[in-house]
Structure 1
Amino acid sequence: MTIKDTPEEWQVTASTVPFKGNKTSVRADDVVMPDGTVVRRDYQVHPGSVAVLALDDDDRVLVLRQYRHPVRHKLWEIPAGLLDVPGENPLNAAVRELYEEAHVKAERWNVLTDVYTTPGGCDEAVRVFLARGLSAAEGERFEVAEEEADMELARVPLDELVRGVLAGELHNTCLVVGVLSVLAARSGDGLDALRPADAPWAARPFEA
């Protein structure tokens, strides 16, 4: 048996949008179950995101610390951002986020992994990239505001992040997934065997 997620869509008999926000909304669907019953499923509709695990030549990961109001924590994270434009190439978005949040550019890009962050209550899909060959970006730094105005940047050894993840000290989804995926890739076929940066992404189809 092949262990692989497969697309499927159960019948929806009714659908409403009780809340529509600036970037996301909430949808309520009446879904027909396999036994014929109809149940209500409420979930957040999300445009999707990209994240960047930027690994330097000293095996350090570029991380940032940012306040996240829903969980009342300052979390250590990797650069990430929304796919604001429908059909936007996720690599272009990742390059932009690395520049805006860290003022860094990268020579080599690969897809590290693709995840649904909370599939029981949100349709957000995230593509996590691995960026290598890091250097400072040209020009002025991007002007930050709101939570990002208080953001801290650091480069932390990969091994230290792995320790923090397994110790329950680091909780951000993209950081946890990215760090452990790099570790897994290294123990397998190596980082150079990862998918190319323009690999297809069924969850969020994009223009080449």
Structure 2
Amino acid sequence: MADRDSPAGAAGEEGHLIEVATERRQLLRGNFLDVRGDIVRLPDGDLASREYVMHPGAVVVVPILDDGRLVLERQYRYPLSQVLLEFPAGKIDPDEPSSRCAMRELAEETGYRATEWAFAARLHNAAAYSTEFIEIWFARGLTLGERQLDHGELIDVCLMEEAELEALASRGELTDAKTLISLMWLQKWRSGVWALDWRPAEAWGPSR
């Protein structure tokens, strides 16, 4: 991630867009949220305020069974007062490679372990107010074991065909952003338009 005080491209063609922090403030520090409120200098010299949430990043996993079905979850999201259908996902722990996070979250939330993994892409899901990014990982060669859910984590695992998921999306019933983008990646890969570099689980070292 580029340093906001020395952003990439500041001296180049994007310099007229770059904002530089002149004052940094912490507005809230909870068990999960770290909310900042900075004063920034705009390219024309004026000052403005920017409020945002610091986040260590997360992963989302697209688990594909041998018969082509997908492993998804239904989970109650308290801020929305709604149960959402999502691909398995979770926050990256401090100093944890994202590949290991993907493997850990898949096993903990669904019980599935995968023999092959592929990294697809990184997305910024709330760029206007958060540093959060989500890395999309694909998993196949699945075997089912025991789940290890965190305290207070209530998740139903469900198996779905891609066509079922697409139908939900077309009707506006699939609203989770990371799951919609992951579905797009799945369709692009299965159609041969986008490529995935599949590797054995043990081949993903600490660099990713």
Scaled to the shorter chain, the TM-score interval is: 0.7 to 0.9
CA distance in 1, matches of 2:163, 2:122: 22
| Residue 207 of structure 1, CA deviation | 3.9
Matched AA of 1:62: V
Q: Letter of the aligned partner of 1:36 in structure 2?
A: G
Q: TM-score with structure 1 length normalisation?
A: 0.83
What are the ranges of 5 or more consecutive residues in structure 1 without an aligned counterpart? Answer: 1-5, 199-205
Measure the CA separation in 2 of the matches of 1:166 and 1:106. Answer: 29
Per the alignment, do residues 28 and 55 of structure 1 end up closer, same or farther by CA in structure 2, a change over 3 Å counting? same
* Preserved contact between residue 23 and residue 47 of structure 1 (Cα < 8 Å): no
Separation in 1 of the partners of 2:171 and 2:63? 22
- Confirm or deny: 8 A CA contact 2:26 2:35 kept in the other structure: yes
Residue 59 of structure 2 corresponds to which residue in structure 1? 50
Alignment partner, residue 104 of structure 1: 112
Deviates more, 1:152-161 or 1:181-190: 181-190
Tell me which residue corresponds to 2:186.
182
Pairwise CA distance, 1:123: 0.9
How far apart in 2 are the matches of 1:10 and 1:197? 40
One-letter amino acid matched to 2:74: R
2:92 matches 1:80: no
After the TM superposition, which residues 33-44 of structure 1 pair with which residues of structure 2 at under 5 Å, given as runs? 33-44=42-53
Does the aligned pair in 2 maintain the 1:113–1:178 contact within 8 Å? no
Which 4+ stretches in 1 moved above 4 angstroms? 6-9, 195-198
In 2, Cα distance between the equivalents of 1:196 and 1:154?
Answer: 24
Letter in 1 for 2:196: L
Deviation track 1:68-122 (CA, whole Å, cap 9, x = no partner) reads: 011111001111111121x311010110001000000011111122101110111
Distance between the aligned counterparts of 1:7 and 1:83, measured in 2? 25
Q: The residue matched to 2:24 in structure 1 has which SS?
A: strand
- Separation in 1, partners of 2:44, 2:166: 44
**What is the CA-CA distance between 1:167 and the residue it aligns to?**
1.6
Provide the C-alpha distance between the structure 1 equivalents of 2:150 and 2:131, rounded to a whole number of angstroms: 28
Map 1:10-159 onto structure 2 (within 5 A). 10-85=19-94, 87-137=95-145, 140-146=146-152, 148-149=153-154, 151-159=155-163
Cα deviation, residue 143, structure 1:
4.3
Residue ranges of structure 2 left out of the alignment (5+ in a row): 1-6, 10-17, 201-205
C-alpha RMSD of the superposition: 2.1
Q: Read off the aligned partner of 1:159 and give its amino acid letter.
A: A
In the other structure, the counterpart of 1:203 is none
